[in-house]
Amino acid sequence: MKSLFIFFSSIFLLISSNSWANHCGHDVDRSWIYTQNYSSKYRVDKSRAKYAYWTFKNKTNKQITIQSIGLWSAGRIIMKEQKVNKYLKPFGIINAKMYVGDLNLDVAGSGFSRCNYGKPIIKKNNTYNQKPSTYSKPKTYYKPKIKKKRNEDNFTLFNLFLLVLAGLLIFVFVIATKKNEYKNYVKSFPRVFDFADQTIICFKKYSTFKGRASRKEYWYFYLFTFIVSLLTYFIDISIFRKDPDGILFINAFFSMVTLLPSLAVGCRRLHDVNKSGWWQLISLTVIGLIPLIIWLASKPAKEKNKY
């Protein structure tokens, strides 16, 4: 009886050892590390880890499916397991990631994976092969529309309009600085070139806070900054493909250039209505914008002006 038990035990060990030797895990080189974010492939400490990153390398010409990846605790308890169902082709390499930011990694042990020979099994929908009496129409779910990426070489009519408008502004300001050479143009479009004149005056008085400024000088300069700010915004978005939620470099540069002359002409405009330029600070209270706009749009003070 004892010899019979030994015989069957040896057969069982032989079969189990052969099956273990033929397990797909022996045909795969596996390594894993902790990473800080989903796109990173660099090792970090447990304290900063958010993902576990696996690399699988097939050493044979066999087809293997990596079914799942997971993480043991130090006490050999499964902390987390994630199905991946990835195909590892003969002599191929694949990667897999699992989020571990919700785990206490202080008690984490080693990583593990499960695999099988062959390609991943894809379940087919046999709904249409059923009998008419039992047929049910497959459910349809809403699929969000995926925005197509714009071609980087796509030069639209809107881009052309922006360039023409920018060129037209430059042309008007060039003529306004040389009135004697372009008298006919100036007479034909008096308001346009008056707008350019007042804007040029504000730039000449770039940091001049003394003196007075008329309503025309202030509001023409305000109109100029509004038009160019809008133009630079659309140039950033449309031509240079900048992110609307990110930094608009050209628009930000123009805002910095016009900040000082805007404050200076606002100060001079308040002097024209016999107010101190420091009243511009009430705009920071938001509600103070109402009296400030009224003063900036008012006629010059009739009484004796101390400015």
Question: Cα separation of 28 and 95, whole Å?
Answer: 13
pLDDT for 151 equals 47
Residue 158 confidence (pLDDT)? 75
Q: Which CATH class is domain 24-117?
A: mainly beta
What pLDDT does 258 receive? 92
CB proximity list for 55: less than 8 A, separation 6 or greater: 30, 31, 32, 93, 94, 95
Kindly give, in sequence order, each residue whose CB lies less than 8 Å from that of residue 286, ignoring residues fewer than 6 positions away: none
Rounded-to-integer distance, Cα 94 and Cα 96, Å: 7
CA 237, CA 259: separation in Å to the nearest integer? 22
Please give the pLDDT value at position 303. 75
β-bridge partners, 227: none
Supply the pLDDT for residue 260. Answer: 93
Phi, psi angles (nearest 5°) of residue 205:
-95, 50
**How much is the pLDDT for 11?**
52
Going from N- to C-terminal start, the domains of the chain cover 24-117, 157-296
| pLDDT given for residue 14 in this prediction | 44
What pLDDT does 18 receive? 42
Indicate the SS3 state at residue 143: coil
Would you state the pLDDT for residue 173? Answer: 84
pLDDT score, position 148: 54
- For the beta sheet containing 28-35, the strands, ordered from the edge strand earlier in sequence to the opposite edge, are 28-35, 51-58, 93-99
Q: What is the mean pLDDT of each run of 10 residues along the chain (307 residues)?
A: 51 44 76 86 86 90 91 88 90 91 88 87 59 53 57 64 82 80 78 85 90 90 91 80 68 89 92 89 89 90 78
Sign of the C-alpha dihedral, residues 187, 189, 193, 194?
Answer: positive
Say how far apart CA 245 and CA 287 lie, in whole Å: 27
